[in-house]
Amino acid sequence: MNIGALALLHNVICGGIAAAGFAVLFNTAFRALPWCAASGAFALAVRTIALSRDWSLEAASFFAALALGFVAFVVPCPAGLSRAVLDVAGCIPLIPGALATKAILSLFAIATKPYGTEQDIVVTAITTSLHVLFTLGALGTGLAIPMLLLRVNANKQAAREGR
């Protein structure tokens, strides 16, 4: 599946708006909102491109979070802006909301059937729940790896310099 430039632009704009909107909910300073929007746009662009190359949702989300984590750590941030804010706000558009909704509704369907739930409902509930859990785990792992690797290297460099 090849993604067109217009579809990619649509995803980038929507990802930026979502990231900036959630940054407002996190009480982020107004001057930081464009940076949060850029981080969300970047992360969603990376995931969209990976998905267009037939990657799984989990793998594409992991790679997007990993790329965002490295970029947020390497690119200089304006004074007073936490890299964690960029990481979290940038990953908000990557959360599979529609899939999570499907999983929750399937679990509700199982809970409301008194006896002998249908096998299709159970399979849907389990598979969608696992996809959501693995995607969220991939996002957390992808964000943690750059922080751990680059922080360890920064500490080693500071120790060599005698700080």
Flag whether the pTM goes above 0.75: yes
- 79/109 Cα distance (integer angstroms): 49
Structural domain tally of the chain?
Answer: 1
Across residues 117-141, what is the average pLDDT?
90
- 147/155 Cα distance (integer angstroms): 12
Across residues 52-72, what is the average pLDDT?
94
Range of the domain at 78: 5-160
Classify 3 in phi/psi space as left (phi over 0), alpha (psi -120 to 50) or beta: beta
- 99/84 Cα distance (integer angstroms): 26
How does pLDDT run across 17-50, given as a tens digit for each residue?
A: 999 999 999 888 888 899 999 999 999 999 999 9
Confidence of residue 159 (pLDDT cuts 50, 70, 90): low
| pLDDT above 70 as % of the chain | 88
pLDDT at 161: 59
pLDDT at 147: 84
Average pLDDT, the chain: 86
CA–centroid distance for 47 within its chain: 9
Count H helices and E strands in the chain, helices first. 6, 0
Backbone Cα Rg of the chain: 19
- Give the total residue count for the chain: 163
pLDDT at 95: 92
| Least confident range of 1-10, 14-23, 97-106, 113-122 | 113-122
